[in-house]
Structure 1
Amino acid sequence: MSAPAPSPESPPLPPLPPARLVQVQGQRPSPVVGWLANRLMDGVCALPASWRDGLARFVGRLAFTLGIRLRVALENLTHAYPDMSDAERRKIALGAYITMARVVLESIDTKEHVETWWEAEDIKGEAWEALKANIAKGQGALLVTAHFGNWERAGKMLLRRGIPLNALVRPLKGALNMRIVDNRIAAGAGLIYPRGAIAEANEAVRLGETVLMLLDQSLPAKAAAFVPFFGRPASTTPAMAVVAKRTGAPVFVVMGIRDESGQKLRLEVEGPILPPEDLGKQDALTAHTAAVTAVLEKYVRRYPDQWLWLHRRWKVQPPSEGQAALKS
């Protein structure tokens, strides 16, 4: 459901203040390993754009050929597209490998000219204007995305357009991952970690900021809401719905979508996606999570090779009725 569009002449958002939540959690490599790894990554980033993309396609095809997590990807695709031929599913899987390789190479780059080269067009639409208007009034919002297109660049596109953004993330380790974390902070993003995440998200919304969450990873059953995703129950965090209920903040889906060449990105925004009415608390949280997940599924169906099929999205299933009765 989209809100009415504000006036197209709405003024630009003011410059962003420095991010508040810049504490880094994770494990960095030793100084020597970190220095060597970063010099290697600097060398890759210095390559011409067409060479970098060629390298990403090579790495993606190599991982696909070697069969790294290929069984997982094909099993997921078989469940999602049972009527599709094996050749068609393998083509989508190959695209997903190339997408992942592109995300990694693009996310370690620190050069601003690469980021502007990436943007296919400006962001348009009623939902985008509604989000900007919400921020301009000093009211926070919740943003939802998936491991799709390039979620790292999508966040940076929002930041460059004046949207104060805090990303819900996990502690990482290793030189490559920590470089991506440092790039997030350099772009102006705040970082919210799992411990105390709900309280931090509530505070960010209260201060008129946004919180960006990825809603396409499975959780242990006891912490999850089970909602349909490609016709199967998918274990999903209810954190977005919980914060939305507590704060009244609107929820928008933001997706960074590659063009046909795979080398440019555009951002699409949908929302606000409102919580259902006249339901009990737990049912309302699950229904709101399901409504947002349905929008994510729409984009994955539209661009299936841009989603991370390598992840075991359905590995956690709801307990059977018999198991639930024994626990109660």
Structure 2
Amino acid sequence: MAKSKKRKHTPGGWQDWATDRVLRAAIWCALRLPLRARLWLMGRLIRHVVAPLAGYRDRAMNNLAHVWPDMSVQERRHLADLVADNAGRTMIDNYDVKGLMRRMATADITGDGLAEVEKARAEGRPVLFVTGHFGNFEAPRAALVARGYRIGGLYRPMSNPYFNAHYAANMHALSDPVFEQGRRGTMGLIKHIREGGMGVLLFDVYDSAGVPIDFMGQPAPTLTSAADIALKTGALLVPFFGIRKDDGISFDAVFEAPVPHGEPVQMMREVTARLEARIHENPDQWFWIHRRWKPKRQRKRAAAKMGP
């Protein structure tokens, strides 16, 4: 008997619509709760409802098995659930833009790169911050915006078009200018930075056009965009991280020493190593739900290049 083909997920289909409806309702309700209750609710909702429904739990577990094959199924399941909890908390953190800025206005911001960022601002020199989907990646940006900085960004649209509409609008609410990933958006960000502005790039997503750079011990196609823009504009390339504290509410905003300018791939290897170090310290805070490696696709592309 022939096996039935597994139905592929169609962006914009009923699953995306249903997921977005659940999330919109949850966001609306959660924003009317006190902060601690709000974060708890969204963490549990994503962990127990959305992650299983959308396939995020299985994806996280598969990624963990790819990177740490010796980890038990129980350990992977537990870690995947913690990742989903942090994702839910991060989502509602970032949908309360004014509240996040109030919280980060008094938060401690540290790191070897902070003094250089402050000096660059005083001198009108450009800065490009680079980070990954770790902790709350908007928290350090909010900390600086609350202190009078203007920090633009480049974002990758969500695969769920219903969710992406309000996700993008919310990014604009924190600090403009914000550009959608693509040639036009990249040129807009470059222009903003070249004129002495500051911007943020998240680099830890799969892109088939990227250069294979080992990430957590496995090759992952990685765009050199952040390094390329820093070199073109003369901007400082400063990794930053918003690390969620044990209370589940507050953050450490850490601005690391700038990555020295040099060969773009080597610069991105250094950026990758900085993120890896944070993940090893707090593996539950990286978004393992992303398709970062896509090993099957990488094998197919490698085989196609080799030919018959």
Instruction: Identify which of 290, 310, 323 aligns with 2:269.
Output: 290
Offset of residue 67 of structure 1: 7.9
Correspondence for 1:260? 246
Higher relative contact order (CA 8 A, sep 6+): 1
How big is each residue's C-alpha offset from its partner over 1:37-89, in whole Å with a ceiling of 9 and x where there is no partner?
97874442011112212212321331356683322211211222233333222
1:100 correspondence with 2:87: yes
Evaluate the alpha carbon distance shift between residue 292 and residue 43 of structure 1 in structure 2; reply closer, same or farther with a 3 A threshold: same
1:219 correspondence with 2:198: no
Offset of residue 126 of structure 1: 2.6
1:142 correspondence with 2:128: yes
Instruction: Identify which of 278, 298, 306 aligns with 1:317.
Output: 298
Correspondence for 1:78? 65
- Structure 1: give runs of 5+ residues left out of the alignment: 1-26, 28-33, 277-283
Evaluate the alpha carbon distance shift between residue 135 and residue 122 of structure 1 in structure 2; reply closer, same or farther with a 3 A threshold: same
Opposite residue 299 of structure 1, the aligned amino acid is R
Equivalent pairs, count = 284
- The answer on whether the counterparts of 1:241 and 1:289 sit within 8 Å (CA) in structure 2 is yes
Offset of residue 241 of structure 1: 1.6
Evaluate the alpha carbon distance shift between residue 176 and residue 224 of structure 1 in structure 2; reply closer, same or farther with a 3 A threshold: closer
Please list, as runs of the form range in 1=range in 2, the aligned pairs for 1:173-192 lying within 5 A after superposition: 176-192=163-179
How big is each residue's C-alpha offset from its partner over 1:171-191, in whole Å with a ceiling of 9 and x where there is no partner?
467665433433332322311
Correspondence for 1:151? 137
- CA–CA separation in structure 1 for the residues paired with 2:276 and 2:265: 16
1:87 correspondence with 2:66: no
Offset of residue 162 of structure 1: 3.0
TM-score for the superposition, normalised by structure 1: 0.77
Correspondence for 2:279? 300
- The answer on whether the counterparts of 2:243 and 2:253 sit within 8 Å (CA) in structure 1 is yes
For 2:261, what is the secondary structure of its paired residue?
coil
Correspondence for 1:201? 189
- CA–CA separation in structure 2 for the residues paired with 1:117 and 1:304: 24
Q: Percent identity?
A: 28
For 1:144, what is the secondary structure of its paired residue?
strand
- Structure 2: give runs of 5+ residues left out of the alignment: 1-11, 13-19
For 2:249, what is the secondary structure of its paired residue?
coil
TM-score for the superposition, normalised by structure 2: 0.81
Instruction: Identify which of 128, 142, 156 aligns with 1:170.
Output: 156
- The answer on whether the counterparts of 1:163 and 1:209 sit within 8 Å (CA) in structure 2 is no
- CA–CA separation in structure 2 for the residues paired with 1:275 and 1:317: 29
Evaluate the alpha carbon distance shift between residue 121 and residue 240 of structure 1 in structure 2; reply closer, same or farther with a 3 A threshold: same
For 1:317, what is the secondary structure of its paired residue?
helix
Correspondence for 2:116? 130
Kindly report the root-mean-square deviation, in angstroms, between the aligned alpha carbons of the 2 structures.
3.0
- CA–CA separation in structure 2 for the residues paired with 1:202 and 1:50: 39
Offset of residue 157 of structure 1: 1.9
- CA–CA separation in structure 2 for the residues paired with 1:298 and 1:68: 27
The structure where helix makes up a greater share of residues is 2
Correspondence for 1:8? none
